[in-house]
């Protein structure tokens, strides 16, 4: 093991409690506490007696719940190469998988009936009836589906009116929409009101809209923290409602879940249903008692459809469905997860959803008992579309860019920063990380240093880049951007509504990429300097370096933040600010950890990215982030015994992210628990 790996993994690159409240380990260096804000114990960890995470039940997150019910009730996962491959009225192709559109998204579709058209636009009350040019909504021709198509997010609950504009001249109603309203000129507009639960109800975001959001403890970026998954009365009520909606949906096609025609369902058929569906839903065989109780409920109803509905509701509101078990059985050291628990841990770690038949069969056959057997399943799973979607979810949460859809931007300054542009930025980040992990080099350094991205034509134009064919890389060109650091999702979420923020951008580098956290600033700390139209941001923030009380922390934060200054609050390139040239250079101090020494100079954003990719701290931090997402917990001091070998294998592989995932799921800590 490299001599500096252990202190990095073990100390987890310290937090501070204010930067000026304790003697520094090195001049001006924060001293610290761990990711949870507690003081770090410097005593070496004894890995001869490793400590495992405790036995626990893990409540499904909203994301995991949606994925699970989709795969339970939607038969098989639908793969795709384009949205036209999906049920495009309510689904879109995301990372090779058909995903239900979020509530509020409406799909406009026009079948030209063989007529050749140059263009079709949507003009309506939602875009000031703009038919063409700025403000117009252009539909795209899908040769696969043979229709013109456009997906747009519309305000929910509000009435909308619209027409299609053909070849910039002919205005017509939407032939597929029977709802109309007087257009004031003797004709009719098409009328539309979006209501959540109607489009994509049963498997999309609408189903979990009432679920309480997950809490994310300090330092934990993800939605699946095991200890934060506490069920409240609101949870119970929403789970019951969702189970009722799902059961009703299943009655539209009972053959998808019932092993016999509904009209012929008898006790034997319902018992087989409980055993088969219960196995998939509980991620283990239902007990004989569970089978008997649910079968009795189903057969005790006068109407067979009602019997199926009640059985489904019972299964889908059961703790065995809502919780993932990580209890295990006694072993030489701690408690080893059963084959069923290993199957569930693998599926939710690598897919974010319930196990497939192959995993369940492996569990039933005792073929998940050794690291070699687990590795074989993991490599199979990493070749499936579900893993691509999971990596996209991880990326959005790791980087904190989920907020791009709601982050506040001054409308007068950034009128073209639309919801569609925000979504394009989020898609860019998800698609880029997925591409690197599965289609590119698989390497961590490519995430930070790549001279390309995957951006839609509209987003490429927004950046001032030359668009590429759909799905093809867009070259950054001229060395301006670098990997994820140049993404609009990152740049916009780390800025204020009307100005950039070296603090937020510097903290992004320190916290998300280096796992170096800072405590709350002291009460006397000043706020953001007022905007000066004649000064650059660097000049305005000079107070942080001039004031010794601020400097102790801000020399670590502001300097990397200045490396992003060539990009405005929505991620567009700029040469000047306040009429003056922008200086994006800086010095990254103590990149390997506070007090470790070292000053790395960079001239621009690609230079900053290069420093990070050379840093072992960034590599180990990435391992820690993957560990957190997979294990549902912040790493503890004693978890260095788990993290160190995985980090070493990752580093030895050249930063191969797929090898990191395999190393994690084949480690002892993945399949072993200790008594709580």
Q: What is the 3-state secondary structure (H, E, C) of 11-55?
A: HCCCECCCCCCCCCCCCCCCCCECCCCCECCCCCCCCCCCCCCEC
Domain match, 439 and 557 both: yes
**Mean pLDDT (whole number) for 398-402:** 97
Listed as own residue / partner, the contacts of 301-310 with beta carbons closer than 8 Å and 24 or more positions apart are: 304/262, 304/263, 304/265, 305/251, 305/254, 305/262, 307/265, 307/270, 308/247, 308/250, 308/251, 308/254, 308/257, 308/258, 308/262, 308/265, 308/270, 308/273, 309/247, 309/248, 309/250, 309/251, 310/247
Asked whether the predicted pLDDT for residue 199 surpasses 60, the reply is no
Asked whether the predicted pLDDT for residue 201 surpasses 70, the reply is no
Domain match, 126 and 216 both: no
Residue 574 placed within a domain: yes
User: What local confidence, expressed as pLDDT, does residue 3 receive?
Assistant: 33
The CATH number of the domain holding residue 181 is 2.60.40.10
Residue 638 placed within a domain: no
Domain match, 132 and 222 both: no
User: What local confidence, expressed as pLDDT, does residue 110 receive?
Assistant: 95
Question: How does the average pLDDT of the chain come out, rounded?
Answer: 87
Q: How far is CA 625 from CA 64, 364, 397, 415, 440, in A?
A: 19, 32, 10, 35, 21
User: What local confidence, expressed as pLDDT, does residue 300 receive?
Assistant: 96
- Confidence band (pLDDT; 50, 70, 90) for 202? very low
Domain match, 106 and 209 both: no
Q: How far is CA 519 from CA 12, 36, 124, 398, 514, in A?
A: 15, 10, 49, 20, 15
Domain match, 145 and 212 both: no
**Ranges of H-type helices in 351-451:** 357-364, 371-382, 385-398, 419-438, 444-449
- Cα diameter, the chain: 84
**Mean pLDDT (whole number) for 229-255:** 91
Asked whether the predicted pLDDT for residue 612 surpasses 50, the reply is yes
Domain match, 185 and 233 both: no
**Using alpha carbons only, what angle is made at residue 133 by residues 132 and 135, rounded to the nearest 5 degrees?**
85
Domain match, 260 and 151 both: no
Residue 24 placed within a domain: no
User: What local confidence, expressed as pLDDT, does residue 500 receive?
Assistant: 95
Residue 344 placed within a domain: no
**Mean pLDDT (whole number) for 513-541:** 71
Of 572, 598, 616, the one marking the end of a domain is 616
Domain match, 177 and 238 both: no
Domain match, 495 and 596 both: yes
Domain span including residue 608: 391-517+529-616
Residue 564 placed within a domain: yes
**33-42, 368-377, 550-559 — most confident range:** 368-377
User: What local confidence, expressed as pLDDT, does residue 444 receive?
Assistant: 98
Domain match, 290 and 170 both: no
Domain match, 553 and 487 both: yes
- Alpha-carbon gap, residue 386 to 67, rounded angstroms: 10
Residue 395 placed within a domain: yes
Of 323, 341, 366, the one marking the end of a domain is 323
In the chain, how many domains are there? 3
User: What local confidence, expressed as pLDDT, does residue 24 receive?
Assistant: 38
Which has more confidence, 621 or 29?
621
User: What local confidence, expressed as pLDDT, does residue 597 receive?
Assistant: 86
Strand, coil or helix: 163: strand
User: What local confidence, expressed as pLDDT, does residue 69 receive?
Assistant: 92
pLDDT in tens, 550-604: 777 888 999 999 999 999 999 999 999 988 999 999 999 999 988 888 899 999 9
pLDDT in tens, 282-313: 999 999 999 999 999 999 999 999 999 999 99
- Confidence band (pLDDT; 50, 70, 90) for 139? very high
User: What local confidence, expressed as pLDDT, does residue 520 receive?
Assistant: 66
Residue 358 placed within a domain: no
Of 158, 193, 228, the one marking the end of a domain is 193
Structure-token pair, residue 153: 């997010």
288 touches 278 (CB < 8 A): no
Asked whether the predicted pLDDT for residue 272 surpasses 50, the reply is yes
Structure-token pair, residue 72: 């339970």
Residue 39 placed within a domain: no
Q: What is the DSSP letter of 230?
A: -
Which has more confidence, 177 or 609?
609
Domain match, 454 and 575 both: yes
pLDDT in tens, 58-70: 999 999 999 999 8
């Amino acid at each position: 093991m490299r001599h500096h790996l252990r202190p990095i993994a073990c100390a987890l690159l310290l937090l501070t409690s204010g930067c000026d409240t304790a003697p520094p380990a090195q001049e001006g260096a924060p001293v610290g506490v761990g990711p949870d804000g507690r003081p770090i114990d410097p005593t070496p960890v004894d890995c001869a007696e490793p400590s495992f995470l405790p036995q626990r039940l893990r409540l499904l997150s909203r994301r995991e719940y949606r994925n699970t019910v989709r795969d339970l009730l939607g038969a098989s996962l639908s793969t795709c190469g384009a949205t036209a491959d999906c049920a495009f009225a309510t689904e879109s192709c995301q990372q090779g998988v058909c995903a239900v559109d979020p509530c509020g998204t409406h799909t406009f579709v026009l079948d030209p009936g063989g007529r050749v058209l140059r263009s079709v636009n949507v003009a309506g009350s939602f875009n000031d009836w703009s038919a063409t040019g700025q403000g117009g909504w252009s539909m795209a021709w899908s040769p696969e589906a043979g229709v013109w198509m456009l997906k747009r997010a519309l305000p929910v609950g509000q009435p909308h009116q619209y027409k299609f504009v053909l070849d910039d001249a002919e205005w017509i109603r939407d032939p597929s929409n029977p709802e109309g309203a007087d257009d004031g000129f003797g004709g009719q507009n098409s009328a539309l009101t979006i209501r959540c639960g109607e489009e994509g109800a049963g498997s999309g975001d609408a189903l979990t809209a009432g679920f309480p959001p997950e809490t994310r403890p300090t330092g934990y970026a993800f939605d699946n923290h095991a200890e934060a998954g506490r069920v409240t009365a609101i949870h119970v009520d929403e789970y019951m409602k969702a189970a009722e909606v799902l059961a009703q949906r299943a009655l539209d096609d009972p053959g998808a879940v019932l092993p016999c025609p509904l009209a012929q369902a008898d006790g034997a058929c319902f018992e087989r249903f409980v055993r088969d569906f219960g196995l998939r839903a509980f991620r283990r065989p239902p007990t004989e008692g569970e089978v008997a109780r649910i079968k009795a409920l189903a057969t005790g109803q006068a109407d067979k459809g009602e019997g199926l509905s009640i059985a489904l509701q019972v299964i889908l509101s059961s703790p065995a469905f809502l919780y993932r078990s990580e209890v295990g059985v006694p072993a030489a050291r701690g408690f080893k997860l059963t084959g069923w628990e290993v199957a569930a841990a693998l599926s939710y770690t690598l897919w974010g959803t319930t196990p497939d038949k192959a995993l369940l069969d492996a569990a039933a056959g005792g073929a998940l008992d050794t690291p070699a057997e687990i590795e074989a399943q993991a490599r199979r799973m990493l070749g499936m579309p579900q893993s691509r979607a999971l990596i996209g979810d991880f990326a959005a949460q790791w980087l904190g860019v989920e907020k791009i859809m709601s982050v506040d931007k001054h409308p007068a300054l950034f009128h073209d920063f639309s919801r569609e542009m925000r979504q394009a930025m989020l898609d860019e980040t998800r698609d880029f990380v997925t591409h690197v992990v599965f289609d590119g080099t698989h390497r961590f350094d490519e995430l930070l240093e790549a001279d390309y991205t995957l951006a839609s034509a509209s987003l490429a134009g927004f950046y001032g880049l030359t668009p590429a064919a759909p799905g093809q890389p867009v070259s950054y060109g001229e060395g301006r951007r670098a990997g994820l650091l140049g993404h609009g999702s990152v740049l916009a979420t780390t800025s204020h509504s009307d100005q950039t923020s070296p603090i937020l951008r510097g903290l992004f580098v320190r916290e998300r990429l280096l796992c170096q956290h800072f405590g709350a600033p002291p009460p006397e700390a000043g706020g953001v300097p007022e905007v000066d139209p004649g000064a650059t941001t660097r000049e305005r923030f000079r107070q942080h370096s001039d004031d010794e009380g601020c400097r102790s922390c801000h020399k670590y934060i502001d300097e990397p933040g200045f490396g992003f200054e060539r990009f405005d609050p929505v991620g567009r390139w700029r040469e000047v600010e306040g009429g003056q040239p922008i200086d994006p250079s800086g010095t990254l101090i103590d990149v390997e950890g506070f007090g470790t020494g070292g000053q790395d100079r960079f001239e621009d954003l690609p230079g900053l990215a290069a420093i990070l990719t050379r840093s072992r701290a960034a590599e180990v931090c990435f391992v820690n982030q993957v560990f957190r997402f997979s294990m549902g917990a912040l790493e503890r001091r004693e978890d260095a015994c788990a993290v160190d070998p995985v980090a070493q294998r990752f580093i030895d592989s050249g930063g191969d992210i797929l090898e990191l995932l395999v190393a994690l799921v084949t480690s002892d800590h993945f399949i072993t628990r200790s008594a709580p």
